[in-house]
Amino acid sequence: MSEPTVLDEAWVDVARKMVGDAGGGAVFGPAVVRDDVTMVPVARVSVWSGGETADGGGERPASAARITARPLGALVVTHGKVCWRPALDVNKVILGGQVVAVVALLVAGAVLGSRRRCPGTG
């Protein structure tokens, strides 16, 4: 594993400034007020940084940084009452549907395949 470089530290500093020193936690967005309703968006922010040599010889350091943010939901304040509205992650819903479809196809194939191999059926 390579030692951290100045470039790695610079990326981490930039990332921390971008996410307000969250470093991998919940971040609250600006409140949106309409009529008597106030909404505060909440997201999970992750910061990753890594580095290695670009050419394998150790002469040119290469660094990478990744910042990801996923919506968690929103705090909704109405008439002095606070409630949590979770965000729907459509990608997870689609992935779950695909997994169920693949399992259903595998089970159907196994059932139909076993029917063809039964002795004395034809």
Question: Nearest 5°: phi and psi at 103?
Answer: -65, -40
Burial (Cβ within 10 Å: 0-12, 13-18, ≥19) of residue 77: middle
pTM score > 0.75 for this model?
no
pLDDT by 10s per residue, the chain, length 122: 444 444 455 555 655 565 554 445 677 888 889 988 999 898 888 877 776 655 555 565 666 777 888 888 898 888 888 888 999 888 899 999 999 999 999 999 988 877 766 566 55
Strand extents, DSSP E, 1-122: 26-28, 32-34, 37-53, 61-78, 81-86
